[in-house]
Amino acid sequence: MVLIGDEGTTCACAFSPDGQRIASGSDDGTLRIWDAVSGTCLMSLRGHHDRVEACAFSSQGSVIASASDDRTLRLWDAASGNCLMTLRGHKGPVWSCAFSPDGKRIVSTSIEHVLRLWDTATGDCLKTLSGHEGPIRACAISPDGSCIASGSDDRTLRLGDATSGNCLMTLRGHGDSIWACAFSPDGSRIASGSEDHTIRIWDVASGDCLMTLCGHEDFVRTCAFSPDGTRLASGSDDRTIRVWDTASGDCLMALLHDGDWVWTCAFSPDGRQIASASAGGTLRLWDTASGVPVGFQVHLLSQGGVATLSADGTRILHANEEAWRDLAWLVPDEHGALETYPAETFGPLPE
């Protein structure tokens, strides 16, 4: 059986530091928090007026940040779901955000050619970092909090001093816009993903390109190091997530994400799972040892519908009333032809 319904877009996902929750952002402006084991939606955080492009937990797990096309960055209490503050100052859609390790600062990027560094206690903009010659699509803060990385449509990756804001170095080599960047857990390397279909891994101290990872057939939107730094996950418009060996550069596995391009991906804190979100509205979990889907998959549907399915897609675990009205199952008959049945045909609305 295959579940069908009009889908939305899931643009962002992030694990909590303890691995018990997953945050996801969607094009309806909602930030949702999920139980990472059961797939239950624990809370829906509303306040943005446009697509949520990125989200992140603070290292303590107590605060969640969300970046939106409505030009704002919001900070939320992870326990209550209350909005703690709204950070305003960007003049265009906010595309990415990253907490400092101590959670006291957060950096954000926008269609503007600048980054903004904010104080998470006061909401004040501490610093504006300039230098890029195009919109900035990605940012990251090093594990020790000393360096801010940014990737831009100008095809460069810039490393800046987090205190002074001065540019430390500009890394060149990509042939097109840079959509993603991520520091290794020890801060010695940084990865960047580009519209040129490649991922590059750079030495932070020297600025040298250590390796170029080729294999994706469309542009790379996201990348993330495993907690031990031995693997790198990347997601692409070719609908795959690739997992790479960061020592050899070998592709260890390619995971096909059903439906549409992969918007973002993240390793669980123990490195055993990868969460991925797609433009087709699906949030999935993958086992990093076998490469098979595990746990559950979430489908965001039109008109506010949300449904959580088993990993193999054959059982509805949770669904709200809006989803239940819209959902249907495609079931092959004895001749192999597909017939459509309302979701309720196979049981009552799951609680």
Give the least confident one: 65-74, 159-168, 228-237, 259-268.
259-268
- Indicate the SS3 state at residue 193: strand
Residue 107 lies in a domain: yes
pLDDT digits (tens, 9 = 90+) for 214-256: 999 999 999 999 999 999 999 999 999 999 999 999 999 999 8
Residue 330 lies in a domain: no
Integer Rg of the chain from CA? 20
Residue 235 lies in a domain: yes
Residue 342 lies in a domain: no
**Model confidence band, residue 307 (pLDDT cutoffs 50, 70, 90):** low
Q: Any idea what the Cα angle at residue 289 is, between residues 296 and 4, rounded to 5°?
A: 25
Specify the higher pLDDT residue, 117 or 346: 117
Residue 334 lies in a domain: no
Report the CATH number that the domain containing residue 285 is assigned in CATH.
2.130.10.10
Contact 251, 243 (CB under 8 A): yes
- If you average pLDDT over residues 318-344, what whole number do you get? 58
Residue 186: the pLDDT is: 98
Residue 345 lies in a domain: no
CA distance 159 to 153: 15
- If you average pLDDT over residues 151-171, what whole number do you get? 97
The average confidence (pLDDT) of the chain is 88
Residue 42 lies in a domain: yes
Return the residue matching tokens 């969640």.
64
Residue 9: the pLDDT is: 78
pLDDT digits (tens, 9 = 90+) for 29-57: 999 999 998 888 899 999 999 999 999 99
Full residue range of the structural domain in which residue 247 is found: 8-297
pLDDT digits (tens, 9 = 90+) for 88-139: 999 999 999 999 999 999 999 999 999 999 999 999 999 999 999 999 999 9
- Our count of domains for the chain comes to 1
Rounded to two decimals, what is the model's pTM?
0.89
- If you average pLDDT over residues 282-302, what whole number do you get? 82
Tell me what percent of the residues of the chain surpass a pLDDT of 90. 72
- If you average pLDDT over residues 13-21, what whole number do you get? 96
Distance of CA 263 to the CA centre of its chain: 6
Residue 315 lies in a domain: no
Residue 347: the pLDDT is: 58
* pLDDT for residue 344 is more than 60: no
